[in-house]
A and B are shown apart, each in its own frame.
Chain A
Amino acid sequence: MNELLTNFVPEPERYELRAGPVHHFELARRDFFKLLGAGIAIFTVAKDAAALQESGRARRAPDETLPNDITSWLHVAEDGTVTAFTGKVEIGQNIRTSLAQSVADELRVPFESVRMVMGDTFLTPFDQGTFGSRTTPTMTPQLRRVASAARDLLVEQAAQRWNVSTDKLVAADAKVTDPASGKSLRYAQLTAGQSLARTLPDADPVTPPPQWTIAGKAVPKVDARAFVTGKHQYTTDLRPPNLLYGKVLRAPSFGASLTSVDISAAQQQTGVTVVRDGNFVAAAAPSERAADKALAAIHAEWKSDPQPSAAEIFTYLKQNAEPPSGERDKTEKGSVKDGLATAAHHLEETYNIAYIAHAPLEPRAAVAEWSDDKTKLTVWTGTQRPFGVRDELSDAFHLPHDHVRVIVPDTGAAYGGKHTGDAALEAARLARAANRPVKIVWTREEEFTWAYFRPAGVIEIKSGIAADGTLTAWEFHNYNSGSSGIATPYAVPNQLIQFHYVKSPLRQGSYRGLAATANHFARESHMDGLARAAQMDSLEFRLKNLADDRLRAVFQAAAKSFGWPRAKKQPGQGFGMGGGLEKGGYVATFAEVAVDPASGSVRVVRINTAFECGAIVNPDGLRHQVLGANIMGLGGALFEAINFENGHILNARFSRYRVPRFRDIPEIDVVLVDRKDIPSAGAGETPLVGLAPAIGNAICDATGTRLRNLPLAPNGIKA
């Protein structure tokens, strides 16, 4: 197998990581058995850089207790129950299920006997965070290796009891069997009365996809019943005894600083604790209403500075780009100048990308509780980076890492929006002052205003093709929106691709697909323009310039499913495509739109997406991610944009910020390409990136108008 594929580790984008986390490992092995009871415990040690990057660090923090290269662990209890531990978190992407499938598969136990402990900084190994579509390519193999090591240990135990060699024994159905004698022992029998801990090197190889029995199947979501009965407890639902509700006084605009504040009236309200700490002013009270009333009684004066507005954002980004720093953000090959000189057709375009919000339906929230002596802090919060938030809390309150525990209940989604610990810090600060647990749940308006956004951007492309449609030159500059998916998958001998950093006027960060959406939108729209210039069919033009077989395959699969090429049957009808590869996944999306000639309204009628991410772990979960990515992507493609003016968000409500609703949903067909010969990659993000260009290209097909801004048509298309 191709080495590049087997060692594929998606590189985190600059916006994914704010600060490098420090490795930490709190759980001593003694505590492990205390917690889970007797049985066997397996710890695996990283053997490759990929595993270390994901779950360990080369550096050892002073308050660590165990070797820092341990990447995963797993426990088989005396009753045969398997508990696997991961710092990854469940945010709707269904990894609680898919990871358990892989553990069960590798350990040869029924799916139902595996329990995943996730996102708890006291119980799970260090992890950078759940982002970048990394869970499947990096965590799944790690859990498989620890499960495989556990299986080996169980086989070894049986071999000792029977005094036979391990290679004569078979592990299956939670049993070890000796086919020669017919004897067998259940895992539960082998673990009974044991307290055996082993640290093993990552066992490799693990079971290859063609031999999977539980992975690769459409196993239903774990705990599904708790979700349809309302019993699942999200962070926002937690109600520890003596809970207070917290509210934070927000500045009237971005960048404002507090000049004076009077908290005396609020402090006199019954049961209210008010905190002022620098610019942070907040109140905790026995009910949310009481906290609101306390906040309303606080009189604050703020000093605001002028801030850029949405109207000038694209000019601002272009004018405020920092000078290029070294080669990291630049790829150059051949000479664009020479490539343009030999071209028969040139095309030069600028694309603009708006800031958009994640708007997860569960807002940022946290519950914080201190020990009586205020030396230990526990915080429940919906975050994609439990260890990152642990570090933020540890820094903010000057606590050793092992005095801060962050626990992440399965969360009401994140989409890249919950990397930081804002609500956790706020709740912890209030709880320390109030001597009681405090819950903070951001309002929707706070969520739209004080969370961070997907970066806005400007993309400039200059290109050339020969008379036969062969690409000869490609120059691509992205200002601010990010570098993921910036490389072109098309073969071009002469290219210059560069990311330009800009200090963003609005707080910005990660987002599902991040810059890959913007970069694919610009590139695939531009490719369509080039196909027109060459008077070639869009698909034929792409395939002509595409050497990557996997990308060709998804384009061909989606084209077949969509029925490309198609003849237009009525005015306003249009067809288009977009695709690419990112984070180990390959996607092609075809769209049909209907543009109403009278009103200019745009309706997406049909979407066909083909997606390939190696061996499929759970086809049902994967299909749902592809569906969901397309539906979420509809908003950013057609109408979502944060509108802001001089430090104020003007549309911080669902009544003013339009997200896709039932009426917007087209027919969607998903074609999954299963490649059992290729290691599995993640799927949470890449299925989104082909949609916006497919819609833009379809609109151009329908109307002849090339739209170069995201969102494409927030108010329809003006005739």
Chain B
Amino acid sequence: MSIALTVNKEQFSVFSDPDTPLLFVLRDELGLTGTKYGCGEGQCGACTVLLGDTPRRSCQLPVSAAAAKPITTIEGLEQDGQLHPVQQAFLDAGAFQCAYCTSGMIMSSVALLQHNPRPTPPEIVQSLQGNICRCGTHPRILDAVQHASVALRERAR
């Protein structure tokens, strides 16, 4: 069936089984491969996207359930060639090694900072607990999120 999606402010009509996970529609139909497959059971966070302003595991989200709200993927964060402050903070902190988890880490962090502009370190840990990094970049990711929090607040001033 045909399903209307709004992804990164663009309208798409995709022809897909309604129970197809959003992840596969994004990657294979729309070519938005920045969102990664890591486990298929919502355990690793590599496929995290924003549905409205809520972080969702796109491997667990049927495409039909994603039609209601705008979807933001890693490709939608950059504006006019300017990195999102969270992306910039990850870049500045060198918060990636193989970087396969990075999209999911950034999307989860963007969601956190939207809801909680001044997270404490334990709050950051709590909100990223569902994101796996196998290379062991965690300390730099925590630094990056704290720096992004400051940058976002400065930008909002």
Contact = CB atoms under 8 A, between A and B. Distances in A.
- Are A and B genuine complex partners? yes
A628 B128 contact: no
Interface stretch (A88-96, A307-315, A537-545): A88-96
A239 B28 contact: yes
A360 B35 contact: no
B36 A361 contact: yes
Interface residues of B, number: 57
B87 A229 contact: yes
B133 A361 contact: yes
Interface in A231-264: 231-234, 236-237, 239, 245
Nearest to A218: B94
Contacts of B133: 361
Contacts of A224: 91, 94, 96
Contacts of B140: 624, 627
A719 to B, nearest CB: 27
A231 to B, nearest CB: 7
A239 B77 CA distance: 23
A361 B97 contact: no
Contacts of B75: 229-231
B136 A660 contact: yes
Contacts of A221: 94, 96
Contacts of A330: none
A655 B31 contact: no
B65 interface: no
A654 B38 CA distance: 10
B87 A93 contact: no
Interface string A330-369: 0000000000000000000000000000011111000000
B98 interface: yes
Contact of B34 (A229, A239, A287, A362): A229
A668 B142 CA distance: 13
B146 interface: no
Nearest to B59: A444
A230 B34 contact: yes
A220 B74 contact: no
A462 interface: no
Contacts of B135: 92, 413, 628, 632
A361 B125 contact: no
B107 to A, nearest CB: 9
A369 B35 CA distance: 24
Interface string A417-440: 000000000000000000000000
B68 interface: no
A413 B100 contact: yes
Interface in B38-61: 38-41, 43-44, 46
A3 to B, nearest CB: 35
Contacts of A225: 83, 91
Nearest to A444: B39
A162 B4 CA distance: 70
Given A234-B100, A361-B44, A629-B136, A229 B83 contact: yes
Interface residues of A, number: 56
Interface in A403-423: 410-413, 415
Q: Which of A220, A234, A662 has the most CB of B within 10 A?
A: A662
B94 A620 contact: yes
A444 B135 CA distance: 17
A629 B137 CA distance: 10
A443 interface: yes
A141 B106 CA distance: 37
A624 B97 contact: yes
A236 B37 contact: yes
B129 A662 contact: yes
B78 A232 contact: no
B34 A361 contact: no
Contact of B96 (A228, A231, A363, A632): A228
Contact of B101 (A361, A441, A660): A361
A289 interface: yes
B43 A653 contact: yes
A124 interface: no
B90 A628 contact: no
Contacts of B141: 662
B20 interface: yes
Nearest to B133: A361
A444 B94 contact: no
A446 to B, nearest CB: 10
Nearest to B104: A361
Nearest to B89: A228
Nearest to A411: B98
Contacts of B111: none
Interface in A621-672: 624-625, 627-632, 653-655, 659-663, 665, 668
Contacts of A445: 40
A660 B138 CA distance: 10
Given A624-B97, A630-B136, A443 B40 contact: yes
A412 B90 CA distance: 17
B96 A360 contact: no
A668 B139 contact: yes
Given A225-B91, A227-B96, A628-B137, A661 B129 contact: yes
Contacts of A624: 94, 97, 137, 140
Nearest to A230: B34
Nearest to B31: A239
Interface in A190-237: 220-221, 224-225, 227-234, 236-237
A288 interface: yes
Contact of B134 (A359, A410, A627): A359
Q: Which of B43, B46, B75, B137 has the most CB of A within 10 A?
A: B43
Given A289-B20, A624-B140, A661 B132 contact: yes
B91 A94 contact: no
Q: Which of A237, A412, A620, A625 has the most CB of B within 10 A?
A: A412
A679 to B, nearest CB: 24
A228 B98 contact: no
> Shortest 9 CB-CB distances between A and B: which pairs?
A230-B34, A92-B98, A631-B136, A412-B100, A628-B136, A230-B74, A237-B33, A227-B99, A654-B43
7 contacts: A91-B98, A93-B97, A228-B99, A413-B98, A444-B39, A655-B41, A659-B134
Given A230-B34, A362-B98, A662-B141, 18 more contacts: A221-B96, A227-B96, A228-B102, A229-B83, A230-B32, A230-B75, A230-B103, A236-B33, A236-B36, A237-B33, A287-B24, A441-B37, A444-B40, A624-B97, A625-B97, A627-B139, A628-B137, A662-B138
